[in-house]
Amino acid sequence: MLDVPLCYGGDFLRQARLSDAHKIAVLLKSAIADGSVLPVNEVQIAVEINTYYVYTVEGEIAALGKLTPYGEGAEIGKLVRDKCFQGRGLPNKLVRYMLEIACKQGFAYVFALSIKPRMWNFFEALGFSACQRQALPALWAACYDFTRPSQAYRLMLGQMGKAPSIPSFSGSLKLETDDAISI
């Protein structure tokens, strides 16, 4: 299912396309190298392209994230921003968009993990609460390396309306058709 892209000023938030796989792999390279993102190659990205979302600025991918379903929950992962776009709040806008997508897809909650304390603060500011990694979905846990020093965060999507730090995009972003986006 291709989700409807959103226009935020002149920038677009949308589901990734197969043609984005190479750029996604390039953007993930430094985060993989420093250990903050688990390794993935371009072929794996292409196979799972429908789970990636991108924030584009003037047609270039400036930030990306991955929304992976696990039963009634979904993981927000592979959250990376191009260093050229630092200080513009792109990851924040992208995660909010992904939360809207998760709600529309019927997920009860989303979760995220990070080994970086600044990301812990990022997720807390969005209304996520710290949780035990063992409380996350069994399917996810079966593939996870629990020796990683990551902290887990979870947000119950039914609580989104109660969290003032997570405004809905409804009414604040203009809907665009896929045809309106030229990359």
Has residue 1 been placed in a domain?
A: no
Has residue 23 been placed in a domain?
A: yes
The DSSP-derived string for 141-162 is HTT--TTS--EEEEEEGGGGGG
Tens digits of per-residue pLDDT, 154-178? 999 975 544 433 444 443 333 333 3
Q: How far apart are alpha carbons 147 and 115 in whole angstroms?
A: 11
Has residue 106 been placed in a domain?
A: yes
Measured distance between the N- and C-terminal CA atoms of the chain, rounded to whole angstroms: 20
Has residue 76 been placed in a domain?
A: yes
Tens digits of per-residue pLDDT, 27-69? 999 999 999 999 999 999 999 999 999 999 989 999 999 999 9
Could you give the 3-state DSSP secondary structure of residue 130?
Answer: strand
* C-alpha torsion sign, points 156, 98, 129, 165: negative
* CB neighbour burial string for 105-121, b if at least 16 within 10 angstroms, e if fewer: eebebbbbbbeeeebbe
Count of domains observed in the chain: 1
Residue, of 146 and 99, whose pLDDT is higher: 99
CATH of the domain at 92: 3.40.630.30
Residue 115 domain boundaries: 6-180
Could you give the 3-state DSSP secondary structure of residue 179?
Answer: helix
* C-alpha torsion sign, points 54, 57, 59, 60: negative
